[in-house]
Structure 1
């Protein structure tokens, strides 16, 4: 049997000359989440990203055997 989990992360744009500021900050946070969930036996099975207004929404879908 499988157990599923969704992790949602939201990043907002800010005024900066760095066009990749969301990518840089989100990559570090997402890697930390991946490491944390991997230690607990979760596997990343899918991802999704949506932009809405001033924010970007990252969805990480995990599963593990129970």
Structure 2
């Protein structure tokens, strides 16, 4: 049987430096990846929306 989790990473561009917003989003996403990997989850899919949101889909065997 599998257990699934969805995590949301939001990035807000509150400066004129779009590279900074992207770097911050990447850092937050990596933190979530590390957190879930330590719990035995695998990243199985990702998607993004127009509203500056990244969805990370994880699964693990239970």
For 1:32, the equivalent position in structure 2 comes to 31
How many residue pairs match? The answer is: 62
For 1:2, the equivalent position in structure 2 comes to 2
Question: 1:4-56 CA deviation, whole Å, 9 max, x = no partner?
Answer: 0000111122132x22222100111111110110000000000001122xxx0
SS in 1 for 2:32: helix
> Which has the larger helix fraction?
2
- Of structures 1 and 2, the larger Rg is shown by 1
> Which has the larger strand fraction?
1
TM-score (norm 2): 0.90
1:10-49 maps to which residues of 2 (within 5 A)? 10-16=10-16, 18-49=17-48
**8 Å contact kept, 2:11–2:22:** no
TM-score (norm 1): 0.85
Could you tell me which runs of 5 or more consecutive residues in structure 1 were left unpaired when the two chains were aligned: none
Distance 1:61 1:46 in 2: 5
Compute the RMSD of aligned alpha carbons: 1.0
> What stretches of structure 1 move > 3 A for 4+ residues in a row?
none
